[in-house]
Homo-oligomer: A and B are copies of this chain.
Amino acid sequence: MTSPRSSPTPRRADAEQNRCKILAAARTVFASADDDVSMAEVSRRAGVGMATLYRNFPGRRELLEAIYADEVDAICAAAGTIEAGSAQGALVAWLREFFGFVTSKRHVAAELLEHTDRNDPVFGDSRSRVIAAGRPLLAAAQAAQEVREDLTLEQVLDMVHAIAKIPSGSEYVEPILQACLDGLRPVQPHAAALPMH
């Protein structure tokens, strides 16, 4: 029993700590494993009992959702903190973060999709959050005439997402991504319209 004064706080702190330990362990386990990962292994790595694990995350799906939500948070946060020499540079840097989010093995979207309908609110809500976070970056780059005007952020993200899903290694996919990002340049750059003499 804890002292009456601090009774709820340590328990909450413990619970929060357990939750963090579980999520950290699950991220590691999902990152290293090529195949299905058991809840038992997550429990072992986190150093918490199965009862604690299941109290926090009733199933594999809830665990995946929590990891996914954390990663979406990170992408959204990055949109506000990214630094680059130009509005276009900031947008592209953030799109590369998003690309990494989609491709990285550490991320669980692909597996979560197997457990979840694509139209599930988990995805719809994440998509809305990512779009809301990135929209100012695109708007700034378009206002600076550094990015073409005929694409919405939804379209830009779907483009990057589509490229990220090409089932090949990063050496193969990287030049494709670069071409697509270069394709965001304004359609008629002023320089190209200059007379050649």
Residue of B166, B175, B180 near A180 (CB, 8 A) is: B180
Residues on A close to B: CB < 8 A?
A: 148, 150-151, 155-156, 158-159, 162-163, 165-166, 168, 172, 175-176, 178-185, 187, 189, 191-194, 196
Chain A interface secondary structure, helix, strand, loop or mixed? helix
CA–CA, A188 and B196, complex, Å: 15
Among A178, A183, A194, residue most surrounded by chain B Cβ atoms (within 10 Å): A183
> Which residues of chain B come closer than 8 Å to A156, judged between CB atoms?
176
- For A186, the closest partner residue in chain B by CB is B182
Contact A151–B179 (Cβ < 8 Å): yes
A190 to chain B, nearest CB (A): 8
The 25 sampled A-B contact pairs (Cβ below 8 Å) are A148-B179, A150-B175, A151-B179, A155-B172, A155-B176, A156-B176, A159-B163, A159-B166, A159-B176, A159-B179, A159-B180, A162-B162, A162-B163, A165-B165, A179-B180, A179-B183, A179-B184, A181-B183, A182-B185, A183-B184, A189-B189, A189-B191, A191-B191, A191-B192, A191-B193
> Which residues of chain B come closer than 8 Å to A183, judged between CB atoms?
179-184
- For A165, the closest partner residue in chain B by CB is B162
> Which residues of chain B come closer than 8 Å to A181, judged between CB atoms?
183
Contact B175–A182 (Cβ < 8 Å): no
Residue of B148, B168, B191 near A196 (CB, 8 A) is: B191
